[in-house]
A and B are shown apart, each in its own frame.
Chain A
């Protein structure tokens, strides 16, 4: 049972870390637009076409 004296502060430390991570995410604007970001991954599948199109334009 004495290990609790050791383990619980570690748990608290993890919570503090989680809070810090969350603050970082919020301040970075990750929660500013919840509508778009979740779908953005779906749009990226044609990165190939995109670079091809860019190349066309440069030529």
Chain B
């Protein structure tokens, strides 16, 4: 639209004729909209313009500020209970979830800005979890003021009600780090002693020094085994109880037996010790699992239940008075007031008023639904343009929203189960190793009874499943890291194992293939003397008074002209005065009495007219993401079918499908329809990757073999998806699939290597030919090879092209 520099605050294009700007560091900077201007001036006014110097990424475009009255609800004691806790008697601590944090500079800005408020004692913000903890003096400052302060500098605050889950994550993370530290430091130390032992090992005699070194090694290795390796033991116990030989069983067996035997050897002064092997093995394994865990936690951060979607307080009528009450207090039969912009808190029936309600989260239909007395409204939808009085018919877990949640749970139960490849190999592997060790023991008992135990042990140690058990986690960890660099945050542990088996990709329309935001596509002028600029400004002035989703398309031109006496006619359009002239904007038959037909091309057309007739047609539409077409093409070239499944009714679906190059599309699907369609596909033997973002997609996301949610998606959708696409670049999808193919190849290489190594080492050990130093070197080397091989994934340019050629020759392999 323009070649002027992008908005200094949010980086989006500045529309021509925009007069928003601000002086920062002695230079005038263009801004795109009043929201960015308000935020930037709040930052500069606070003396915090250094923020723009520090930040590494542009900010999110701020939403229009909410009314103070809305935040006031957070001062209610029963609401505060959920996120404000006592700190030290005189102070309280509020736990907030802050949306819009993009980099470390945001942390600085928030901390400095809040510290300016009187009564705020301490602020600490965690950029990786988007959590803020604010210690404040309740006598001087109220929580609502904290919310307002955060909103003024462009962040979206919300109470962090899921604090329990955060604590669990924090505890888990810290425990993992402590274990890793113990294993790492212990390994370094034991390795040093081991080198000394290796020199004496060849001589065969157990001298004083060697005995001493063994005791010291035992001392250092003991906490590694009993503290650091403890998760393996408990996991092994769990899997044994479930009558399943998982990877943790051989791992625990190797660590436990090698430690036990080394302990015995140290005490009795005979045989071999393996302390360094045990420690190093533990360290490597813990490292892989910690990286995996961190990735999982990071991705799950945005999660929250349905409760997060609903408002915390509700304006309920008590007699003739409107009182703010907690949503939990809402019951069937209550009368509630919904102002424009409010989220509907419960299912109900409209008693008074007429308004358009946005039900897109529930049904996927993007147009406002017209509601008047007697119409049903559903929890989770958003009231559009005017106030409604609603009688509650179902609250809490009886709402339609909760029904969707239950659908989600069912879909998750029915989700095709995935068992990790290494885990399946493990069962057989453990059996073979145990049999071999037993066989060696029996054999040597007859040949040389004194060596029987040591040979059996060396069989167990040399075949220690390190390489085998590292094969998958090491590859997964480095592939996960690589995906994160590409812009895909992996949450589900087995996404990488599922992706290569996908043969169909299903997109939801709104917000995935498209930007999820209406834009002005074209303007057809019908009157001379008008230009596009003037049409946009007049329309923006009228639209600035409503909360209709389409109004967002005009946001950039807002504020150039002023409108008054604007009246909204739901489902038809609006009328009002702009600079003294009466205009109507909306459907053709509404705006002008004439029977005007919109220009013949698809899209949503609205007409601007004044008293003397039509002025201009404006085409609004959701634009395809820049990357969509390319991404679809690449998916096709990977041999996948692509399908568009949308809840939207309009002919838009067809237009977008054609634009994106998708032949297969389906419109008007409800959440139930989508799930049914998905299960139909799965019954046909297809494996489906679902890409979606709305709440109506949540059941399908949960039920699909693999699922990706957009960053802009509803929280619930994000928490139920296997991965989150961070920058909205759809081309990351085919790239990720290519990387997953490569990851699978590397896992197989690792498994082949690990099993091959064991196949060579096992007979040698059974024959009693493996001295302890050789066992230790073999074991370490096999693990290192596996880790290094996995590391290739982190810097691989896994392109579609170089994935395709070897792939075709591979055919069905281990996994299929």
Secondary structure call for the A interface: helix
From A12, A22, A50, A53, contact of B216 by CB (8 A): A12
Question: A23 touching B104 by the CB < 8 A rule?
Answer: no
B756 at the interface (CB under 8 A from A): no
Question: A35 touching B105 by the CB < 8 A rule?
Answer: no
State the CA gap A30–B177 with chains docked (Å). Answer: 11
- Residues in A9-47 with C-beta less than 8 Å from chain B: 9, 11-12, 15, 18-19, 22-23, 26-27, 31-36, 38-40, 42-43, 46
- Residues in B160-196 with C-beta less than 8 Å from chain A: 170, 173-174, 177-178, 181-182, 185-186, 188-189, 192-193
State the CA gap A9–B220 with chains docked (Å). Answer: 11
Question: A33 touching B220 by the CB < 8 A rule?
Answer: no
Question: B127 touching A35 by the CB < 8 A rule?
Answer: yes
Q: Known contacts A8-B216, A15-B220, A23-B181: does B104 contact A40 (CB below 8 Å)? A: yes
Q: Known contacts A12-B220, A15-B220, A33-B127: does B212 contact A5 (CB below 8 Å)? A: yes
B236 to chain A, nearest CB (A): 25
Interface size class of B (residues with CB under 8 A): 35 or more
Residues of B close to A12: CB separation below 8 A: 189, 216, 219-220
Question: B177 touching A53 by the CB < 8 A rule?
Answer: no
Question: A32 touching B185 by the CB < 8 A rule?
Answer: no
Residues of A close to B178: CB separation below 8 A: 22-23, 26
State the CA gap A50–B325 with chains docked (Å). Answer: 40
B166 to chain A, nearest CB (A): 10
State the CA gap A36–B106 with chains docked (Å). Answer: 9
Q: List 15 A-B contacts (CB under 8 A).
A: A5-B212, A8-B193, A15-B220, A23-B181, A32-B170, A33-B127, A33-B128, A34-B128, A35-B128, A36-B128, A39-B54, A40-B107, A49-B50, A53-B116, A54-B116
Question: B189 touching A26 by the CB < 8 A rule?
Answer: no
Identify the closest chain A residue to B294 (Cβ). A34
From A9, A36, A42, A53, contact of B47 by CB (8 A): A53
B209 at the interface (CB under 8 A from A): yes
Residues of B close to A1: CB separation below 8 A: 209
Residues of B close to A15: CB separation below 8 A: 185-186, 188-189, 220
From B129, B185, B212, contact of A18 by CB (8 A): B185
State the CA gap A51–B266 with chains docked (Å). Answer: 63
State the CA gap A1–B54 with chains docked (Å). Answer: 56
Q: A32-B170, A33-B127, A36-B127 are in contact. List 8 more A-B contacts (CB 8 A).
A: A15-B220, A22-B181, A31-B173, A32-B174, A36-B125, A43-B54, A49-B50, A57-B116
Identify the closest chain A residue to B107 (Cβ). A36
| 0/1 string, B213-229, CB within 8 A of A gives 1 | 10010011001000000
How many residues of chain A have a CB within 8 Å of chain B? 33
B596 to chain A, nearest CB (A): 55
Question: A4 touching B220 by the CB < 8 A rule?
Answer: no
Identify the closest chain A residue to B47 (Cβ). A53
Question: A32 touching B126 by the CB < 8 A rule?
Answer: yes
B534 at the interface (CB under 8 A from A): no
Question: B220 touching A36 by the CB < 8 A rule?
Answer: no
Q: Known contacts A11-B189, A43-B108, A53-B46: does B116 contact A33 (CB below 8 Å)? A: no
A-binding residues in B (CB < 8 A): 46-47, 50, 54, 103-105, 107-108, 112, 116, 125-129, 170, 173-174, 177-178, 181-182, 185-186, 188-189, 192-193, 209, 212-213, 216, 219-220, 223
State the CA gap A43–B185 with chains docked (Å). Answer: 33
State the CA gap A40–B125 with chains docked (Å). Answer: 12
Residues of B close to A46: CB separation below 8 A: 50
Identify the closest chain A residue to B223 (Cβ). A19
Question: B216 touching A43 by the CB < 8 A rule?
Answer: no
From B174, B192, B216, B220, contact of A26 by CB (8 A): B174
Question: A27 touching B185 by the CB < 8 A rule?
Answer: no
State the CA gap A49–B112 with chains docked (Å). Answer: 11
A52 to chain B, nearest CB (A): 8
A11 to chain B, nearest CB (A): 7
State the CA gap A57–B117 with chains docked (Å). Answer: 10
B153 to chain A, nearest CB (A): 15
Residues of B close to A11: CB separation below 8 A: 189, 192
State the CA gap A38–B127 with chains docked (Å). Answer: 12
Question: B181 touching A50 by the CB < 8 A rule?
Answer: no
A28 to chain B, nearest CB (A): 10
Closest 5 pairs between A and B when the two form their complex, measured CB to CB: A53-B47, A39-B104, A43-B108, A22-B181, A33-B126
Residues of A close to B107: CB separation below 8 A: 36, 40
Question: B185 touching A22 by the CB < 8 A rule?
Answer: yes
From B126, B181, B216, contact of A36 by CB (8 A): B126
Residues of B close to A52: CB separation below 8 A: 47
A37 to chain B, nearest CB (A): 8
A35 to chain B, nearest CB (A): 5
A14 to chain B, nearest CB (A): 9
Question: B47 touching A49 by the CB < 8 A rule?
Answer: yes
Identify the closest chain B residue to A14 (Cβ). B189
Question: B209 touching A4 by the CB < 8 A rule?
Answer: yes
Residues of B close to A38: CB separation below 8 A: 104
State the CA gap A49–B192 with chains docked (Å). Answer: 52
B679 to chain A, nearest CB (A): 40
From A22, A33, A49, A53, contact of B129 by CB (8 A): A33
State the CA gap A45–B209 with chains docked (Å). Answer: 55
State the CA gap A32–B185 with chains docked (Å). Answer: 20
B430 to chain A, nearest CB (A): 32
State the CA gap A49–B25 with chains docked (Å). Answer: 14
State the CA gap A19–B181 with chains docked (Å). Answer: 7
Identify the closest chain B residue to A58 (Cβ). B118
Question: A50 touching B112 by the CB < 8 A rule?
Answer: yes
A2 to chain B, nearest CB (A): 10
B637 to chain A, nearest CB (A): 36
Question: B104 touching A36 by the CB < 8 A rule?
Answer: yes
Residues of A close to B46: CB separation below 8 A: 53
Residues of B close to A18: CB separation below 8 A: 185
A44 to chain B, nearest CB (A): 9
State the CA gap A15–B279 with chains docked (Å). Answer: 14
State the CA gap A53–B170 with chains docked (Å). Answer: 36
B633 to chain A, nearest CB (A): 35
Residues of B close to A40: CB separation below 8 A: 104, 107-108
B544 to chain A, nearest CB (A): 33
State the CA gap A22–B183 with chains docked (Å). Answer: 12
Q: Known contacts A42-B54, A49-B47: does B128 contact A26 (CB below 8 Å)? A: no
Residues of B close to A36: CB separation below 8 A: 104, 107, 125-128
Q: Known contacts A33-B129, A50-B112: does B182 contact A19 (CB below 8 Å)? A: yes
From A8, A31, A39, A43, contact of B177 by CB (8 A): A31
Identify the closest chain B residue to A42 (Cβ). B54
State the CA gap A42–B189 with chains docked (Å). Answer: 36
A8 to chain B, nearest CB (A): 6
A58 to chain B, nearest CB (A): 9
Question: B174 touching A27 by the CB < 8 A rule?
Answer: yes
From B103, B116, B174, B188, contact of A31 by CB (8 A): B174
A31 to chain B, nearest CB (A): 6
Residues of A close to B170: CB separation below 8 A: 32
Residues of A close to B125: CB separation below 8 A: 36
Identify the closest chain A residue to B106 (Cβ). A36
Residues of A close to B219: CB separation below 8 A: 12
Residues of A close to B103: CB separation below 8 A: 35
